[in-house]
Amino acid sequence: MPTPMLHAFPDALPLARALHQQLGWPLAEVALHHFPDGESRLRVAASPGGAAVLLRSLHDPNAKLVEVLLAADALRRAGATRLTLVAPYLGYMRQDAVFEPGEALSQRAIGSLLGVAFECVLCVEAHLHRVKTLAEVFPCRAESLPAAPVLAAWLRGEGAPLLVGPDEESEPWLRDLAGRSGLAWCVGAKRRRGDRDVEVTLPPLARGVERALLVDDIVSSGATFAAAARALRAAGVTRVEALVVHAIFAPGALETLHTAGVSQVVSTDTIPHATNRISVAPLLAAALAEAA
């Protein structure tokens, strides 16, 4: 079977190079040009082998989705007969129901668009709630890869902090991470009064807990982590850190965390950010090698 070819947008090149090193597949950059009116023109390398992988994380999705769809069309015209989208962070997954009359079902709308353009979609830790798997969302093969294996590998060099999930939604995958790493864990209860107005209540902590690691899949405003950090400090924890899969980090989020007493923030490279310390390349490389 011919070797698949990796195609990466400029903002995805660091992760794409890591995949290139692990898989040995050829890598080409998507050439991107923006016209003064905001439209995009792009050019891709030929994919004579038939199988092509397009890499781009879909944070800031409104600016990126059209270009991803254009790239899919260009790759088809350049010889690709089977397309895989690797979107380490997959946006628009939170709106999985119509909560108020007149709203769009955003998750299904985006899933339909991408599912028609690609034969396979891979991401890491999709932000799913009522919908449990991407198979319910996409008309093509779609898989959300768990981040726990690479997080647990990183944790093995970090001593024995208490793992803390800020709310009930974090419990299933926090339990998985604790099981892989052998660390104690607990989950708080969150009460949200507004986008940046959050209260977190923690269960009673064991005596002598000095270091806690807040863990979640996404941090955006930082309000939830900040509330959890304040609760941990009030409970006597002297060192509070944070571990996050997707570093969305809206403007001011890191300052919010530091002000609340978070001394260190570590993230994976699903979204390029200064806090990146953990690479998801091993997860993606294994999934791509299996799918090839």
Domain spans, the chain: 5-145, 148-278
Say if residue 195's pLDDT is above 60: no
- At the topology level, CATH places domain 5-145 in Rossmann fold (3.40.50)
Closest CA to 56 of 85, 95, 92, 97: 85
Sign of torsion, CA 272 212 146 199? negative
Active site residue: 56, 59, 190, 246, which one?
190
Question: How many helices (H) and strands (E) are present in the chain, helices listed first?
Answer: 8, 16
**What is the Cα 47 distance to its own chain's centre?**
27
pLDDT-above-90 percentage for the chain: 79
Do domains 5-145 and 148-278 share one topology? The answer is: yes
Q: Is 140 helix (H, G, I), strand (E, B) or coil?
A: coil
Specify the pLDDT at position 280: 98
- Label residue 103 exposed, middle or buried (CB < 10 Å: 0-12, 13-18, 19+): exposed
The number of C-alpha atoms within 13 Å of 20 and in the hemisphere containing its C-beta is: 16
Say if residue 179's pLDDT is above 70: yes
Active site residue 190: yes
pLDDT tens profile 1-19: 678 999 999 999 999 999 9
Q: What are the Cα distances from residue 73, in Å, to 77, 89, 116, 241?
A: 6, 21, 11, 43
pLDDT tens profile 226-265: 999 999 999 999 999 999 999 999 999 999 999 999 999 9
CATH class of 148-278: alpha beta
The number of C-alpha atoms within 13 Å of 175 and in the hemisphere containing its C-beta is: 5
pLDDT tens profile 35-92: 999 999 999 999 877 899 999 999 999 999 999 999 999 999 999 999 999 999 999 9
125-139 burial, b at 16+ Cβ within 10 Å, e below that, comes to: bbbbeebeebeebbe
Mean pLDDT (the chain) is 93
Q: How far apart are CA 287 and CA 292, in angstroms?
A: 9
Q: Is 143 helix (H, G, I), strand (E, B) or coil?
A: strand
Q: Is 190 helix (H, G, I), strand (E, B) or coil?
A: strand
DSSP E strands, 179-235: 185-187, 189-194, 197-201, 211-219
Q: How far apart are CA 256 and CA 54, in angstroms?
A: 35
For the segment 138-146, the average pLDDT, to the nearest whole number, is 95
DSSP state of 128: -
Indicate the helix (H) or strand (E) that contains 15.
Answer: helix 13-23
Q: By the 8 A CB rule, do 121 and 284 touch?
A: no
For the segment 156-170, the average pLDDT, to the nearest whole number, is 90
Q: How far apart are CA 105 and CA 18, in angstroms?
A: 35
